């Protein structure tokens, strides 16, 4: 059994956006203060809000659509690890952008989605809290990258070593 087209589309769109967000986040933080850096921060925030909304949509889809069962050959410990890993990915897909929004609010920089729709600040301006939330946001994203790499490595292992068809369930066009 395979995932639905909607689940596959959301999975790969979110995956592409995550890699873009990770890369942009690492790049923009190293730039000196400039109009380009401020523009990239705005793009990062726009994409973060969009990603957050897509994740909520994906979570809603996941709750209402049962994913395909793991192959019968999957050991129980691997099934538990896969379930825990997927739950952790969902938590991080919500926590990482939310921590960025909280940080931005605490630092006094309102998020304006695509430069058009101002989003409410979630916190009052508080520079010390903003600095603490910056550390939280960075930690969550580095941890998130680590979990994503583990997810990718597990998929590769299942595809090339176990050859159990697990990865092909999420690949479109097969």
The Cα angle at residue 54 between residues 172 and 102, in degrees rounded to 5: 145
Looking at the domain assignment, is residue 11 inside a domain? yes
* Rounded Cα–Cα distance for residues 29 and 166 (Å): 37
- Residue 1 reports pLDDT greater than 90: no
CA nearest 133: which of 98, 81, 87, 93?
A: 98
Report whether 106 contacts 125 (CB < 8 A). yes
pLDDT of amino acid 174: 63
Looking at the domain assignment, is residue 165 inside a domain? yes
Domains of the chain: total: 1
Q: What does pLDDT average to over the chain?
A: 96
Looking at the domain assignment, is residue 174 inside a domain? no
What percentage of the chain exceeds 90 in pLDDT?
95
- The predicted-structure confidence for 53-99, as pLDDT tens digits, reads as follows 999 999 999 999 999 999 888 999 999 999 999 999 999 999 999 99
Angstrom distances, CA of residue 19 to CA of 90, 110, 115: 16, 24, 23
Indicate the burial class of 67 (C-beta count within 10 angstroms; 0-12, 13-18, 19 or more): middle
pLDDT of amino acid 108: 97
- Residue 101 reports pLDDT greater than 70: yes
Which residues, in sequence order, are bridge partners of residue 117? 113
Segments forming the whole domain that contains residue 26:
5-169
Looking at the domain assignment, is residue 96 inside a domain? yes
DSSP 169: G
CA nearest 14: which of 115, 94, 99?
A: 94
CATH of the domain at 24: 1.20.950.20
Report whether 31 contacts 37 (CB < 8 A). yes
- Residue 168 reports pLDDT greater than 90: yes
Looking at the domain assignment, is residue 21 inside a domain? yes
pLDDT of amino acid 131: 98
* Beta strand extents in the chain (DSSP E only): 112-113, 117-118
């Amino acid at each position: 059994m395979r995932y639905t087209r909607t689940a596959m589309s959301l999975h790969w769109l979110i995956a592409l956006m995550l890699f873009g967000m990770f890369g942009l986040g690492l790049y923009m933080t190293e730039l000196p203060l400039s109009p380009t850096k401020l523009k990239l921060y705005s793009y990062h925030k726009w994409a973060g809000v969009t990603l957050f909304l897509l994740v909520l949509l994906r979570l809603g889809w996941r709750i209402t659509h049962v994913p395909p069962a793991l192959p019968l050959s999957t050991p129980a410990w691997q099934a538990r690890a896969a379930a825990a890993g997927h739950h952790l990915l969902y938590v991080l897909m919500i926590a990482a952008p939310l921590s960025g929004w909280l940080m931005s609010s605490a630092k006094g920089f309102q998020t304006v989605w695509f430069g058009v729709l101002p989003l409410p600040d979630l916190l009052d301006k508080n520079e010390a809290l903003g600095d603490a939330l910056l550390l939280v946001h960075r930690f969550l994203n580095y941890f998130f990258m680590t979990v994503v790499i583990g997810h990718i490595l597990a998929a590769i292992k299942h595809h090339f070593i176990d050859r159990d068809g697990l990865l092909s369930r999420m690949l479109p066009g097969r």
